[in-house]
Amino acid sequence: MAGGTDRRTRGPAARAAVTVRVPAKVNVRLAVGAARPDGFHDLANVFLAVSLFDEVTATPADALTVTCEGPDAAEVPLDRTNLAARAAEVLAARAGREPAVHLHIAKRIPVAGGMAGGSADGAAALLACDALWGLDTPRAELLDLCAGLGSDVPFSLVGAAALGTGRGELLTPVDAGTFHWVFAVADGGLSTPAVFREFDRLTAGTDVPEPACGPALLAALAAGDPDALAATLANDLQPAALALRPRLADTLAAGTAAGALAGIVSGSGPTTAFLVRDAAAAAEVAAALAASGTCRATHVASGPVPGATVLP
Ligand SMILES: C[C@](O)(CO)[C@H](O)COP(=O)(O)OP(=O)(O)OC[C@H]1O[C@@H](n2ccc(N)nc2=O)[C@H](O)[C@@H]1O
Ligand SMILES: Nc1ncnc2c1ncn2[C@@H]1O[C@H](COP(=O)(O)OP(=O)(O)OP(=O)(O)O)[C@@H](O)[C@H]1O
């Protein structure tokens, strides 16, 4: 299938294959408001893109197909529910063409782990197809298409560090120094809608405040100060994730006992994220977590890093 189409039929700017690298995210502040009439929740969502990457390669093909490689590949749908496939479809529809492309996903981001892995592949596929088909779609339109695919997808395109408001899709860049992290991958995933539903259940009958992000967290981020950031990390979905997966408390305890400055559930979980002082501390905490038996795998990463990027 790869290279099976004569590239001269694709226009002067078209390419034979395009690979896009795209990062995972961690939410350093996830403030969640009450459920809206449309079922979504307003957020104050401070995203940080970290150096744990998927790669999506787009190649001309007769029809839309998806393949995936990586340790969690068996859990990734290869039909049109895959966010990468949906991205190709919406971009093709906008351009008035068929989504005739093969998408290969090299997946390192945990699946259903709260690190926006599917969203990352959606943003990457959009950028890859845009380049493959020589469309040069304006950035603002790509961001609109991303928002239609999912609340986290615009951030996967943009990367670095940003505050997401609305349902998380309205982005304002924020300054951030470099921070080092260890991620502990849990056995099995958690469904994002189920975690939001559990948040609703836990907060039923209470007055859920408007979501907001305080200045202390933004100052800590801008200063690149890990101690200050550790003191302000917060995730309103954490009680819901812990209620659905109580064993995550053991992982959080193991990471902090191993010397992490702070531990938090990443987004809707069940991946847990540990902020550490530097790369050496990251290696130590990752080894201790692996030895603790409280997680399936560990990843060391740092951020901010750029969003979806076409590789040369
Ligand atoms: C938990 C986070 O990852 C934090 O960044 C995001 O809020 C989730 O973003 P996402 O996976 O892109 O979510 P979407 O695909 O937009 O929505 C999936 C489901 O999550 C819930 N959802 C999502 C975002 C939001 N602001 N409020 C919600 O209640 C809704 O039940 C929705 O049907
Ligand atoms: N490209 C993809 N990679 C992984 N999962 C995908 C993809 N496309 C669709 N899915 C489906 O989406 C579900 C959620 O997967 P994903 O890895 O995006 O979760 P997540 O990281 O928890 O998301 P988020 O952090 O944005 O809430 C999976 O269980 C899978 O069925």
Q: Nearest C-alpha to atom 9 of ligand 2 is from which residue?
A: 82
Name the nearest CA neighbour of 160 among 144, 171, 148, 149: 171
Ligand 1 geometric centre to CA of 164 (Å): 12
The confidence score (pLDDT) of residue 8 equals: 41
The confidence score (pLDDT) of residue 14 equals: 60
d(CA 121, CA 156): 8
Pairing label, strands 18-35, 234-235 = parallel
**Annotated binding-site residue? 92:** no
Specify the ligand 2 atom closest to the Cα of 110: 17
Type of residue found at 276: V
Whole-number Cα distances in Å, 47 to 16, 172, 173, 220: 33, 10, 9, 14
d(CA 81, CA 87): 10
Q: Nearest C-alpha to atom 26 of ligand 2 is from which residue?
A: 116
Ligand 1 geometric centre to CA of 36 (Å): 12
Per residue in 221-244, pLDDT (tens digit) is 999 999 999 999 999 999 999 999
- Reading phi first (left if > 0) and then psi (alpha if -120 to 50, else beta), residue 293 is in left
Q: Nearest C-alpha to atom 4 of ligand 2 is from which residue?
A: 118
Q: Kindly state if the Cβ of 263 falls inside 6 Å of ligand 2.
A: no
Q: What is the CA radius of gyration of the chain?
A: 19
Low-confidence ranges of the chain (pLDDT < 50): 1-12
Q: Are the C-beta atoms of residues 130 and 13 closer than 8 Å to each other?
A: no
Ligand 2 geometric centre to CA of 170 (Å): 20
Q: In sequence order, which residues have a C-beta less than 8 Å from that of residue 138 and are 6 or more positions away? A: none
Which residues have a catalytic role annotated?
25, 152
Q: In sequence order, which residues have a C-beta less than 8 Å from that of residue 167 and are 6 or more positions away? A: 36, 40, 41, 42, 43, 151
Specify the ligand 2 atom closest to the Cα of 83: 8
Q: Kindly state if the Cβ of 30 falls inside 6 Å of ligand 1.
A: yes
Per residue in 57-92, pLDDT (tens digit) is 999 999 999 999 999 999 999 999 999 999 999 999
Q: Are the C-beta atoms of residues 136 and 13 closer than 8 Å to each other?
A: yes
**Annotated binding-site residue? 134:** no
Enumerate domains of the chain plus CATH numbers. 7-173+306-310 (3.30.230.10), 179-302 (3.30.70.890)
Q: Nearest C-alpha to atom 29 of ligand 1 is from which residue?
A: 40
- Reading phi first (left if > 0) and then psi (alpha if -120 to 50, else beta), residue 132 is in alpha
Q: Are the C-beta atoms of residues 185 and 110 closer than 8 Å to each other?
A: yes
Type of residue found at 20: V
**Annotated binding-site residue? 4:** no
